[in-house]
Homo-oligomer: A and B are copies of this chain.
Amino acid sequence: MSIQKPTLPKGTRDFGPQVMAKRNYILDTIKSTFKLFGFQQLETPSMENLSVLTGKYGDEGDQLLYKILNSGDFLKKVTAEKLSKGSNAVLPLVAEKGLRYDLTVPFARYVVMNRNDITFPFKRFQIQPVWRADRPQRGRYREFYQCDADVVGTDSLVCEAEIILMIKRVFSELKLNDYSIKINNRKILTGISEVIGEPGRESDLCVSIDKLDKIGWEKVREELEQKGFSEASIEKLGPIIDMGSKDKFEFLQIFLASSEVGLQGLNELREVFDLLGSFKEDEEFVDFDVVLARGLSYYTGAIFEVKVNNVSIGSVSGGGRYDNLTGVFGLEGVSGVGFSFGVDRLYDVLEELELFPEESLKSTTLMVAHFGEDALSHGLNVLTEARKLGISAEIFPDDAKMKKQFNYADKKNIPFVIIIGSEEIKSGEVTLKNMESGEQRQMGLQEALKQIKQSV
């Protein structure tokens, strides 16, 4: 076999030790928050039957699904005639399975398949990779992690309030202080479309309004005109766009007076704010944003989006309430609310703001360096004693110059080195070096370990 230079598939990444440590810092923070709020972990297989995946993400989504070639003689059902009909006709003959595209559809499948064993309301979180055959570009990968939490089987607005509190806790733990949680309700958007005289067109309206931040009102206006919204309707939308810092609830109570569903959305939103009050949590960080729409069309109630301020990437988390998660699999009436943290984006934000704590970058706490073979075997007992105390420890395994051993400790960001040489063997003491301060001192082993233990 000839030797090839190994490569990585486009749009995929290795996560080396440094990056993994940082990613784990984020994921552990999120996980511990989910657990603190009573969510339980679920994992589903990477492979799903294409019958489960296809048709759930729109035509574009179907194109972006990774399909797995059937095993063995995958062509056995493909005739020349079938071949002449092209890839779309041949696909079902050669591929039965695909890779997970998101965590929501597998979750819905799981709920339907296990409906008799699940105790509802079911609070689940799921942190797993998903795959999309998208064009790779900066910040967009073909394999990336999603990090979802959902509550299904209840329409209690307590869940909405809890989600906001979870987001808040994660950000506070990550020392991210300058951010805002935007919240809206899809029913308010429905109400607005009724009031402006374009009932039932909230989807079109939402898609356009969603771009307001990016392209501005004039462009949104043009787009709405192109979509056939009447000038009168667009005119009526004006006050909403200009609403600014007026009391939004007061304003919308009047604006939506003629729309039952709009008022219902407004009431739901008001209740979420009231519930936040009952939690005795400061609600200032939550911003009612009446033009927040988000692209996904399956939200039916609350809609969330979290933006970090003053960084190049803004939106790092989002979600909302949906009324019919599992209908597509034959189980009606399962309402739920969920949201998703963008791990890659949070990573970039923490990197940009230099918020990864130093501890998250440390690997081993202690390395044992040694002169000569006797010193090595002497050093092994140091490892045993250190690990007994829970201090992560390693020894440089080869006979090597001190410089090389210290270089290793340095590169691996190890904060303490214990040095063993003939002198240490004779005296029964060890030399402890603090790699940050450079300070170096001889002492008894237990004393050295005590000092290390205290400083981590």
Chain A residues engaging chain B, CB cutoff 8 angstroms: 1, 3-9, 12-17, 20-21, 24, 35-38, 40-49, 51-52, 55, 63-64, 66-69, 71-76, 78, 80, 83-84, 86-87, 90-91, 94-97, 99, 109-110, 112-114, 117, 119, 121, 123-124, 129, 131, 133, 142-143, 151, 154, 156, 158-159, 161, 169, 274-275, 278-281, 328-330, 363-364, 367, 376-378, 380-381, 383-384, 387, 390, 392-398, 407-408, 411-412
Contact = CB atoms under 8 A, between A and B. Distances in A.
Contacts of A3: 328-330
Majority secondary structure, A binding face: mixed
A84 to B, nearest CB: 8
A55 B113 contact: no
Contact of A24 (B41, B87, B99): B41
In the A-B complex, the 9 residue pairs with the smallest Cβ-Cβ separation, listed nearest first, are A38-B394, A156-B397, A17-B40, A12-B45, A278-B377, A71-B133, A38-B364, A119-B411, A158-B397
Nearest to A411: B119
Given A69-B67, A143-B45, A278-B381, A83 B80 contact: yes
A394 B121 CA distance: 11
Contacts of A274: 377
B394 A6 contact: no
Given A24-B41, A119-B408, A110 B392 contact: no
A334 to B, nearest CB: 13
B46 A394 contact: no
B1 A15 contact: no
Contacts of A94: 69, 94
A99 to B, nearest CB: 7
Nearest to A95: B69
Contacts of A42: 14-17, 20
Given A3-B329, A68-B99, A83-B75, A394 B17 contact: no
A204 B47 CA distance: 37
Given A21-B41, A275-B380, A46 B363 contact: no
Contacts of A393: 36-38
Contact of A69 (B43, B46, B69): B69
A112 B411 CA distance: 19
Contacts of A4: 51-52, 329-330
Among A73, A86, A94, the one with the most B-chain Cβ atoms within 10 Å of its Cβ is: A94
Contacts of A5: 329-330
B394 A37 contact: yes
A342 B86 CA distance: 43
Contacts of A113: 6-8, 14
A142 B47 contact: yes
B14 A45 contact: yes
Contact of A383 (B121, B279, B396): B279
20 contacts: A1-B55, A1-B328, A6-B112, A6-B113, A7-B49, A12-B45, A14-B113, A16-B117, A21-B41, A35-B363, A36-B387, A36-B390, A36-B393, A37-B392, A38-B394, A72-B133, A74-B87, A121-B396, A158-B376, A275-B380
B63 A66 contact: no
Nearest to A65: B71
A330 B55 CA distance: 44
Given A67-B68, A154-B397, A383-B279, A20 B46 contact: no
A142 B97 CA distance: 12
A64 B90 CA distance: 22
Contacts of A121: 396-398, 408
A69 B72 contact: no
Nearest to A23: B43
A280 to B, nearest CB: 5
A325 to B, nearest CB: 12
